[in-house]
Amino acid sequence: MNNKTVLITGAASGIGLEIAQAFLKADMNVAILDFSQTAIEEAKTQLSAFHQKCTFFACDVTKEPQFMDAIDAAIAQFGHIDILINNAGVQHIAPIEEFPSDTYRRLIDIMLIAPFLAIKKILPLMKEKGDGRIINMSSINGLIGFAGKAGYNSAKHGVIGLTKVAALEAAPFGVTINALCPGYVDTPLVRNQLEDLAKTRNVSLDRVLEEVIWPLVPQRRFLTVDEISDYCLFLSSPSAKGVTGQAIVIDGGYTTQ
């Protein structure tokens, strides 16, 4: 799979960074887009061994011109985007009556509108080439409700709908489009959520795990980032050419209940 180029949003941290590393180890070119300059600097250090195959673009995916410019710059540098991974995401937890409307809009912008914009721009190029893979990072929160996560759940449900439509439109052209639905993965996004829960309930992190999280996860563990990046590699491989339009669940048994 070498000489392919993958563009990943939100790839300077957590799951996206692990995916970037996995594709670099598979000898692909990687364009990393992220709006956190601090995270980009840290990621540059972590990925320094791959600097020839890896480029960083500081960009906010909710700012359409900036986002489109970053995609153009990645195409100008590498010639083509073979694999697009819409991964950027944020969380905000509050009951609907206290959920700031601007925050709700921002979550939808980051996790639903931005994937739409990226697909709209890159899919025609993939169709023209007759080959391409798109992976949208949804969540188990794209399949089931979770009180307090109106913005996140709406965006993650929406991106599964977008995936299905885009997959149908792309199917005759050799392009596959799937959504991944991970359960709890050990990343800064999840750690911050747990700390917020512990603070709100005035209990220890261990107690939050025992009382809130593990009852929902039959395997009683967090997924690791490489379990997600391995799936992305598989979906990008020739073996997965028949898998499209799917919401693929990797959740330690969460949604079997």
Looking at the annotation, which residues are catalytic? 152
Closer by beta carbon to ligand NAD, 35 or else 56: 35
Closest CA to 58 of 74, 46, 45: 74
Position 90 contacts ligand NAD (CB under 6 A): yes
**Only segment of 34-42, 92-100, 121-129, 167-175 that touches ligand NAD (CB under 6 A):** 34-42
- The window from 46-54, 60-68, 72-80, 124-132 that contacts ligand NAD (CB under 6 A) reads 60-68
CB 67 within 8 A of CB 59: yes
- Write down the H helix ranges in the chain: 14-25, 37-46, 64-78, 101-108, 114-129, 150-170, 188-201, 205-208, 225-235
Nearer to ligand NAD, 77 or 255 (CB): 255
In DSSP terms, which residues pair with 175 in a beta bridge? 132
Site map 198..237 versus ligand NAD, x via CB under 6 A: ----------------------------------------
Q: Pick the binder of ligand NAD from 87, 153, 178, 246 (CB under 6 A).
A: 87
Q: Which residues contact 138 (CB under 8 A, 6 or more apart)?
A: 156, 157, 159, 160, 163, 179, 180, 181, 247
Residue of 73, 189, 198, 243 that binds ligand NAD (CB under 6 A): 189
Tell me which residue of 194, 200, 98 sits closest to 151, measured CA to CA: 98
Provide, rounded to whole angstroms, the least separation between the CB of residue 3 and ligand NAD.
26
**The one among 21, 29, 153, 187 contacting ligand NAD by CB under 6 A:** 187
